[in-house]
């Protein structure tokens, strides 16, 4: 079972206490964007087999959305961080690199 | 190929079963094929089979990373039905269901298709309205279904508790010609028929790259060397995104784990398939007597082919109320498969931005029932460039907003 530490309330919660919210750091498009951009934003996902940045909500706890780095092929969680970011913070990237030396942020 | 028959069993019995041929050859890959199919699951093998049978294209290789039928084809709950709401879905699933009826004769391989009937329980007022609507839609589509009363549900499946306090049974959508089939046999039967047509099934070989020249596919790199091809079909379910990336495009697909489990074998207690979508559980009894139970999919991206324990608990907890008889059953096996989910929960059978590359994926949690219809449509698309059955399932529908929205229609993944 997956366990994450909520970066807001500090509680270490298992999967049943959380709701998954899909890929993190999506580039949003608004009115006036092209069909291709909307398709990209709404549907196209890299669907990575490996290190994946994703959204979770501490639904049965503090209720806040947070972000996490997790390996979709092994279910290993590298860390969690605030949702108020547009890219993964340096300490999360360092934690991933420590375990996946070949990995790079694309 | 020697045909299987009652006479063949008698003949082989008389000589200690030493004369059986291998069901399919395991050849080394040739330098080039007209068509390469990546993925020797049900959908990939069915595509190859109908390419040969319907379109006379027999210089075909089916390349498989693991072993034949070892992915979702061997990991599902074997349910076959076609009671969908939207017209394009009903057309392709009904085509598949009707092909299942004659598959054993067609392939000369017993796939044990058992049209025992499938009922989808209505356990909320919302579901009653939804299934009545589906029954009306099916009548217009020429799919034989009916909405039945709780009393009829009880007659068809006496072990159901229809007045549970939390999940009462208020009716059901009943498809009498739905049922189950032996999932491994479907893959094996197609593989044997493909091999007999001269096609090469190449197992234990991973496709690691897709070679393109001028926007057109020319071959694939594999762990057994480079193989040339005229056309390429990607039929790899959960790993579709990984293969698409190798071909240089993206798919509106996310991969998640779906799990199932079977109980210890017991004497026959139910001869229909029951699906309960409100509680995300479905159950049937296999010919060996095991209760085959399927549950809901995980909500997060996952490639591990493992289920999560709390989903099993949720599914079984809900089913125990509807089927009190199973409360003391021990569970025998439990497994997961990686399913490829699209935004509208309908599949993709489509051309791609790379000329000569076709993709068949996105069957999500309900691909087994579609295998023959999916292969039929994909083969037609690859051979002729268009297929009436596949037309609405193009990958461009997401950009155009032309969804085939079965997730809204069913209220759940299916």
* Residue A54 covered by a domain: yes
Domain count for chain A, please give it.
1
B262 & B336 share domain: yes
**Residue B213 sits in the same domain as residue B331:** no
**Residue A84's CATH number:** 3.30.2270.10
User: What pLDDT score was predicted for residue B411?
Assistant: 43
Residue B342: its chain A contacts at CB < 8 A? 43
Question: Is B7 within the bounds of a domain?
Answer: no
Report if residue A86 sits inside a domain: yes
CB B43 within 8 A of CB B367: yes
The rounded distance, in Å, linking the Cα atoms of A68 and A82 is 9
Each of the 106 residues of chain A gets a pLDDT tens digit; together they read 899 999 999 999 999 999 999 999 998 998 999 999 999 999 998 899 999 999 999 999 999 999 999 999 999 999 999 999 999 999 999 999 999 999 988 7
> Domain check: are B117 and B203 in the same one?
no
User: Are B356 and B217 a contacting pair, CB within 8 Å?
Assistant: yes
Residue B341: strand pairing partners: B254
* Domain, as residue range, for B198: 25-78+183-252+344-410
Residues B328, B268 share a domain: yes
A52 touches chain B (CB under 8 A): yes
Query: Quick one: B273 and B240 in the same domain?
Result: no
Structure tokens at B328: 């003391």
Angle at B87 between CA B86 and CA B88, to 5 degrees: 100
Distance between start and end Cα atoms, chain A: 28
Residue in A39, A52, A75 closest to B399 by CB: A39
Instruction: Give the closest residue to B303 by CA, choosing from B387, B236, B218.
Output: B236
Residue B395 lies in a domain: yes
- As separate numbers, helices (DSSP H) first and strands (DSSP E) second, chain A gives 2, 6
Q: Are B107 and B98 in contact (CB under 8 A)?
A: no
Residues B142 and B268 grouped into a single domain: yes
Nearest by CB to residue A39, choosing from B253, B299, B398, is B398
Q: What's the pLDDT at B149?
A: 97
Tally of helices (H runs) and strands (E runs) in chain B: 12, 18
Domain boundary among B299, B316, B342: B342
- Residue B100 CA to residue B111 CA, distance in Å, equals 9
Parent domain of A79: 3-27+34-99
Q: For A56, which residue in chain B has the nearest alpha carbon?
A: B300
3-class secondary-structure state, position B130: helix
pLDDT average per 10 residues of sequence, chain B (414 residues): 93 93 95 98 98 98 96 94 94 97 97 97 94 96 97 96 91 97 97 97 97 96 97 95 92 92 96 90 94 89 88 88 93 92 93 97 93 98 97 94 76 46
The helix/strand/coil state of B284 is: strand
Residue A82, in any domain of the structure: yes
According to DSSP, the β-strands at B118-122 and B171-175 are: antiparallel
Kindly state whether residue B89 falls inside one of the protein's structural domains: no
Residue A105, domain member (yes or no):
no
Would residue B15 count as lying in a domain? no
C-alpha distance from residue B170 to each of B137, B147, B151, B210 (Å)? 20, 10, 9, 52
| Statement to judge: residues B232 and B363 lie in one domain | yes
pLDDT in tens, A3-22: 999 999 999 999 999 999 99
Residues B236, B38: Cα–Cα separation, whole Å: 7
Residues B203 and B68 in one domain: yes
Other CB atoms within 10 Å distance of the CB of residue B326 = 19
Burial of A23 from C-beta contacts in 10 A (0-12 / 13-18 / 19+): middle
Whether residue B394 is contained in a domain is answered as yes
Q: Is residue B367 part of a domain?
A: yes
Residues B188 and B300 reside in one and the same domain: no
In this predicted complex, what is the ipTM? 0.92
Is there a contact between A38 and B399 if contact means CB atoms under 8 Å apart? yes
pTM for this structure?
0.94
Q: Identify whether A65 is part of a domain.
A: yes
Residue B366: CATH number of its domain: 3.50.50.60
Query: B325 and B272 share a domain?
Result: yes
Distance from CA of B203 to the nearest CA of A (A): 22
- The number of folded domains in chain B is 2
Flag whether A45 is in a domain.
yes
A1 contacts B301? CB cut-off 8 A: no
Phi, psi of B27, deg, nearest 5: -80, 165
**Structural domain includes residue A88:** yes
Q: Residues 2-21, chain A: which have Cβ within 8 Å of B? A: 2, 15-16, 19-20
Residue B247 lies in a domain: yes
Residues B335 and B304 in one domain: yes
Q: Mark which of B342, B366, B386 sits at the end of a domain.
A: B342
What CATH number is given to the structural domain containing B288?
Answer: 3.30.9.10
Looking at the fold, whether B175 and B261 belong to one and the same domain comes out as yes
Residue B408 has a pLDDT of: 54
């Amino acid at each position: 079972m997956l366990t994450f530490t909520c970066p807001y309330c500090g509680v270490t919660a298992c999967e049943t206490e959380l709701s998954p919210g899909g890929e993190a750091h999506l580039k949003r498009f608004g009115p006036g964007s092209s069909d291709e951009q909307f398709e990209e934003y709404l549907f196209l996902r890299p669907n990575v087999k490996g290190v994946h940045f994703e959204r979770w909500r501490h639904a049965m706890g503090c209720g806040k959305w947070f972000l996490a780095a997790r390996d979709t092929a092994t279910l290993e969680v590298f860390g969690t961080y605030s949702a108020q970011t547009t890219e993964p913070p340096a300490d999360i990237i360092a934690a991933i690199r420590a375990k996946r030396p070949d990995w790079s942020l694309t | 190929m020697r045909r299987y028959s009652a006479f063949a069993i008698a003949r082989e019995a008389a000589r200690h079963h030493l004369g059986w041929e291998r069901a399919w050859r395991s050849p080394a890959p040739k330098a080039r094929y007209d068509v390469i199919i990546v993925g020797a699951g049900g959908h990939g093998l069915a595509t190859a089979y109908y390419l040969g049978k319907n379109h006379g294209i027999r210089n075909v290789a089916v390349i498989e990373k693991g072993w034949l039928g070892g992915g979702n084809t061997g990991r599902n709950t074997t349910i076959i039905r076609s009671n969908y709401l939207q017209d394009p879905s009903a057309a392709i699933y009904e085509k598949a269901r009707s092909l299942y009826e004659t598959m054993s004769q067609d392939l000369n391989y017993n796939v044990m298709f058992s049209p025992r009937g499938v009922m989808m329980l209505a356990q909320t007022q919302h579901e009653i309205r939804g299934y009545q609507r589906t029954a009306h839609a099916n009548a217009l589509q020429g799919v034989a279904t009916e909405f039945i009363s709780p009393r009829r549900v009880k007659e068809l499946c006496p072990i159901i508790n229809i007045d549970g306090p939390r999940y009462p049974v208020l009716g059901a959508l009943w498809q009498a010609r739905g049922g189950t089939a032996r999932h491994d046999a479907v893959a094996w039967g197609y593989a044997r028929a493909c091999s007999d047509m001269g096609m090469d099934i190449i197992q234990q070989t991973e496709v690691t790259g897709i070679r393109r020249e001028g926007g057109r596919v020319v071959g694939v790199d594999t762990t057994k060397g480079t193989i040339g091809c005229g056309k390429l079909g990607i039929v790899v379910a959960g790993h579709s995104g990984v293969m698409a990336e190798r071909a240089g495009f993206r798919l509106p697909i996310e991969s998640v784990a779906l799990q199932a489990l079977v109980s210890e074998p017991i004497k026959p207690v139910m001869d229909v398939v029951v699906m309960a979508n409100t509680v995300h559980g479905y159950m049937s009894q296999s010919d060996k007597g095991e209760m085959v139970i399927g549950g809901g999919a995980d909500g997060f991206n996952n490639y591990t082919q493992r289920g999560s324990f709390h989903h099993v608990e949720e599914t079984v907890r809900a089913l125990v109320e509807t089927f009190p008889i199973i409360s003391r059953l021990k569970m025998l096996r439990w497994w997961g498969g990686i399913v490829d989910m699209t935004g509208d929960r309908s599949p993709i059978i489509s051309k791609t931005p790379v000329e000569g590359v076709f993709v068949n994926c996105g069957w999500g949690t309900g691909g087994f029932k579609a295998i023959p219809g999916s292969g039929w449509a994909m083969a037609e698309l690859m051979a002729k460039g268009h297929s009436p059955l596949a037309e609405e399932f193009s990958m461009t529908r997401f950009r155009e907003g032309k969804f085939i929205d079965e997730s809204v229609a069913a209220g759940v993944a299916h």
